[in-house]
Amino acid sequence: MVKALLVAAVSSGQGKTTVTAALARKLVRLGKRVRVFKCGPDFIDPMLLERASGAPVRSLDLWMVGKELCSQQLAQAAAEADVILIEGVMGLYDGTPSSADLAREFGVPVMAVIDASAMAQTAGALVHGLRDYGPVEMAGVIANRVASEGHTKMVASSLRDIPLFATLPRQARSLPERHLGLVLPDEVQDIDALLDQLADQLVFDQEAWDQLRDVHIDTPPPATAQEALLAGKTIAIARDPAFMFLYPANLDTLRALGATLKFFSPLADEAVPADADAVYLPGGYPELHAEALSQAANWTASIRAAHVGGMPIVAECGGMMALADTLSDKAGAVWHMAGLLPGAVSMQARLAGLGSQGLPTAQGVLRGHTFHYSKLATTVDPAAYTIKHPSAIQGEAWYRAGSLSASYFHAYFASNPAASAALFLRSAT
């Protein structure tokens, strides 16, 4: 038994991540063992939540991750922690499946975050609607951006039978953001001081906390042993500030498949490791580091040599952008990239791709998602297209250029380990 909450809201922008981070840090400082999860596909919020909680943050998603792996991860967390916090995605009922679907599947009560800055008694109508529409079990409310004690009392009285669990005042300084979301924690010089400040300002009702019911997380059957399809293979993985959008489950899957992982930094002009059998270039922010990448001669020469030699190279989103001929940044400056995939990448003012998608393969569908603000103009014909979920319409292009597989699609390897292994083998088609 463990205390567990799904932290949700009526929409994005209500402060879910800030509140979840503040609550996690506060509970840790009170001596609680806290595990945090993020609902839905996301790379950046989990980095902040990991910093706040001091423990790894994994993804929960009934479609992309699957019920079985979600159950395994929750059961492991319940065995190790006093408190499980799950940050929802978008609004409580948005998406197929939604955060509400996840809460109901595992019997986790919902903690609603509301931006109270422009409302008072209407908060009650909003929260009761969130509870009853599904319905979901509503544990309580955390009111964000409250203005005063009087404001807090008005919000609390409007909630009727739903407790006001905590409040957080308006912040003079918010967590910094950029086009793909929050700025990465390591880029914020005093991030721990900021998280401590948020924890200090989060005022929560101890009695309401004590009354939260324990949640029973069923222990699933042991997972089937994974066939070591990558035994004896060494996979070189780019990991630095330009390439950091990587699901921890992807690394777990590659290791379970038998691969040895070696990390290197293109941004530091490190060459692909000499003993690599394959290369994995995850997404990230190459557009913020385009000048440095364009001048990284060792990196460029090594990835070109790997390509000429027929080494499997898997490039997702930012990884693909760094392998095009050129990359135009947000200021309009054009930088030469590695040139493995003919074409030009340009940053856009608006979102160019978003949502859950699946890639059809010979081993079945490989699930994942897309989220990008750039476009690729190329003469290369796509070898395949992903399929958007749940609409089933055509999604992102999947390119093959020699031994290179490249797309804006971010794959979640654990959704289909056999298909993932095939990407890193010379026999992949």
Please list, residue by residue across 84-96, b when 16 or more beta carbons sit within 10 angstroms of its beta carbon and e when fewer do.
bbbbbbbbbbbbe
Give the pLDDT of residue 42. Answer: 86
Of 182 and 401, which is predicted with more confidence? 401
Domain holding 363, by residue range, is 234-423
Same domain, 143 and 245: no
Q: Is residue 306 part of a domain?
A: yes
CA triple 298-251-353, angle to 5 deg: 80
Q: Is residue 255 part of a domain?
A: yes
pLDDT in tens, 50-69: 999 999 999 999 999 999 99
Give the pLDDT of residue 429. Answer: 43
Q: Is residue 161 part of a domain?
A: yes
d(CA 334, CA 348): 14
Where a domain ends, among 210, 244, 276? 210
Q: Is residue 336 part of a domain?
A: yes
Q: Which of 276, 322, 308 is nearest to 424 (CA)?
A: 276
Q: Is residue 223 part of a domain?
A: no
Provide the percentage of residues in the chain whose pLDDT is more than 70. 95
Same domain, 362 and 238: yes
Asked whether the predicted pLDDT for residue 90 surpasses 90, the reply is yes
pLDDT in tens, 349-380: 888 888 999 999 999 999 999 999 999 999 99
pLDDT in tens, 2-42: 999 999 999 988 999 999 999 999 999 999 999 999 998 88
pLDDT in tens, 281-294: 999 999 999 999 99
Of 142 and 189, which is predicted with more confidence? 142
Q: Is residue 221 part of a domain?
A: no
Same domain, 189 and 259: no
The phi, psi pair for 281, rounded to 5°, reads -115, 100
d(CA 204, CA 181): 27
Q: Is residue 216 part of a domain?
A: no
User: What is the mean predicted confidence (pLDDT) over 112-117?
Assistant: 95
Q: Is 317 a catalytic residue?
A: yes
Same domain, 117 and 179: yes
Asked whether the predicted pLDDT for residue 82 surpasses 80, the reply is yes
pTM for the whole structure: 0.93
Residue with tokens 């986790």: 108
Cα 103 to chain centroid distance, Å, stands at 18
Same domain, 124 and 251: no
d(CA 384, CA 387): 10
d(CA 221, CA 226): 15
Q: Provide the mean pLDDT of the chain.
A: 93
Residues 116/144, Cβ–Cβ less than 8 Å: yes
Residues 6+ apart with CB under 8 A from 427: none
pLDDT in tens, 174-230: 666 655 555 666 666 688 888 999 999 999 888 888 899 999 998 888 878 889 999
Q: Write down the catalytic residue from 142, 257, 317, 340.
A: 317
pLDDT in tens, 245-266: 999 999 999 999 999 999 999 9
Q: What is the CATH number of the domain that holds 301?
A: 3.40.50.880
Where a domain ends, among 152, 176, 210? 210
Give the pLDDT of residue 428. Answer: 44
Same domain, 158 and 267: no
Residues 300/308, Cβ–Cβ less than 8 Å: no
Q: Is residue 225 part of a domain?
A: no
Same domain, 156 and 264: no
Q: How many domains does the chain have?
A: 2
Where a domain ends, among 210, 243, 271? 210
Same domain, 75 and 200: yes
